[in-house]
Structure 1
């Protein structure tokens, strides 16, 4: 854990020093918002089109990263600029847009004060992925824990679903984890 903590500190100082928009997302964010399972890695979402710049910034610090054009991998840290979900012909955009950035909050994580996506954004993404133990993932458990432990802005969730062009299937999954958008609770 301490290796990831140190690496998160390096990334936090690097991204903040360059005033890049970024936020912790996925499992580490779900950990902060309710599902206290151990943190295996840190997923970070940055503003679109900035991955190459982050590679250069880390390279200047002599940090050797793996970069495949879609994500950066570095010692327990994964950095993305697009976490869009694709299912067949359906595409649900999930990028760090202005609405998301306005709801980011700074929270302590592994010794660093980091920006974290809102619980609503993490919940929607996890509920749409809807992967469970059979896939070796924790999306359903994470979404359920967030729904139980956070006061959620249901209007924002509906706005996020509309921005992602999500149909009624997401409403069913959200209801399954305890978020009923049709009754406001």
Structure 2
């Protein structure tokens, strides 16, 4: 974990110094907001159109990165600019839009001061994906942990789900977890 911690600090400094808008998402965000399960990697969402700049920043810092144009992987840190979910012939947009930027917050993670997407953003994305141990994921368990520790802003959660075109899909899943949207 200390290797990932050091790498996260490097990424945080590079993104902040270049004023790239970013936020930790996924399991690492769920770790901060919910149950403290071990982290295997850190997922970072960057503002659309900035992924190639991230590659350049890392390469100029003499870091060997892997990139396929949709993500950058460097030593336990995965950076994305679009995590749109496609299922059932539909697309559910998930990228660092203005509302997500407005609701993100700074929090300490592994010794670095990182931006973290709001718990509502994490809940929306994870409940849409709804992956479990059979896929090596913890989406529903992560959401349950977040719900135990946080009072969600249901107005913002509803807005996020509308932006993702996933309100009706996730509304039922939230109801099963004891959360009723307005």
Question: Is the pair's TM-score, using the shorter chain for normalization, greater than 0.5?
Answer: yes
Greater than 4 Å deviation, 4+ residue runs: none
2:59 corresponding residue in structure 1: 59
C-alpha deviation, 1:122, in angstroms: 0.5
Cα distance between partner residues in 2 of 1:33 and 1:156: 17
Name the SS for the 2:96 alignment partner.
coil
Please give the per-residue CA displacement for 1:111-157, whole angstroms capped at 9, x wherever unaligned.
00000000000011111110111221100000111112101100111
Cα distance between partner residues in 2 of 1:70 and 1:160: 22
Cα distance between partner residues in 2 of 1:59 and 1:168: 43
C-alpha deviation, 1:35, in angstroms: 1.7
1:180 corresponding residue in structure 2: 180
Name the SS for the 1:78 alignment partner.
strand
Name the SS for the 1:45 alignment partner.
strand
C-alpha deviation, 1:176, in angstroms: 2.1
1:39-58 mapped onto 2 (5 Å cutoff): 39-58=39-58
Name the SS for the 1:48 alignment partner.
coil
1:114-129 mapped onto 2 (5 Å cutoff): 114-129=114-129
- Any conservation in 1 of the 2:158–2:167 contact (CA below 8 Å)? no
Unpaired runs of 5+ residues, structure 2, are none
Q: When the two structures are aligned, how many residues end up with a matched partner? A: 182
C-alpha deviation, 1:167, in angstroms: 4.4
1:160 corresponding residue in structure 2: 160
Larger displacement relative to structure 2 (158-167 or 134-143): 158-167
Unpaired runs of 5+ residues, structure 1, are none
C-alpha deviation, 1:177, in angstroms: 2.6
Cα distance between partner residues in 2 of 1:105 and 1:91: 27
2:97 corresponding residue in structure 1: 97
C-alpha deviation, 1:41, in angstroms: 0.4
- Any conservation in 2 of the 1:72–1:79 contact (CA below 8 Å)? yes
